[in-house]
Structure 1
């Protein structure tokens, strides 16, 4: 397969567009640059440029990722943390960005998912609770937080 060759400035512009379209983490940008077969110095220069011009900002990426996965997909903190760590975002940074999720929204979402999932379960009460707790842990909610909700119901 023939690869189209680009000039350095064309590649730089493509990477800017890639970052402008949606917040990206360093790992995604580096992966994308592999497609262009650049020498290490050129990759470094582009990465530096993207960071200096604030096209690439790991904290902004983490914050928007956290908001999206919680408010749109209703993921818990553990699942979000694991996905961001997999993308190479430092755990310390992720934890400092969790203030994007308001505690009352977190509790409300957890309660809503618990109630709706619990209702759909069959069997004895303790079996239904057990299935619901497992489900919520799979969604990334913390065991302690789940137990608080279970205790209230």
Structure 2
């Protein structure tokens, strides 16, 4: 017989405490997890309230950690970071705070290094195709278009 696991309110709280302690989570992830655990909306509200009250769930902290991590590890630009945070229903206020986690100097230094590294990896010989490949790569990673086109013109005259 195929039975579905059910959770008491206390079990759900402990499970979600562990879920949030493992890594920063946003409200949307926690809500989805509770939905998959088949918790009723009233119980979901109680568990989320508990997690916020005991500082397991903090949207500002999540947004800041997310932006820092994706910038440092995946080398995403601000456009991509904002888009991904919006997808997770993060408020504009918290997105703006998260963007402040990245210093201007680090931002431009990372952009410079990423652009030059990618250019070395492009084997295309046609100048215009090479420019397009570099621009597409940087735009996909979420770097601002004015930065991208200026850099492409600088690196591939």
With normalisation by structure 1, the TM-score equals 0.91
1:95 match:
96
| Aligned residue number for residue 76 of structure 1 | 77
- In structure 2, the residue matched to 1:39 is 40
CA RMSD of aligned residues (A): 1.6
1:124 equivalenced with 2:126 (yes/no): yes
1:145 — aligned with what? 147
Where 1:100 maps in the other structure, the secondary structure is: coil
Superposition deviation, residue 152 in structure 1: 4.2
How far 1:132 sits from its partner (Å)? 0.7
Aligned length: 153
Q: Assess if the C-alpha contact under 8 Å between 2:60 and 2:94 holds in 1.
A: yes
Cα distance in structure 2, aligned partners of 1:34 and 1:74 = 33
Match of 1:63 in 2: 64
Offset, 1:3: 1.6
Q: Distance in 2 between matches of 1:124 and 1:139?
A: 23
Match of 2:11 in 1: 10
Gaps of 5+ in 1: none
Structure 1 distance, partners of 2:153, 2:134, is: 13
Moved more, 86-95 or 25-34: 86-95
Determine the C-alpha separation between the residues in 2 that align with 1:134 and 1:104: 23
Question: Is residue 135 of structure 1 aligned with residue 137 of structure 2?
Answer: yes
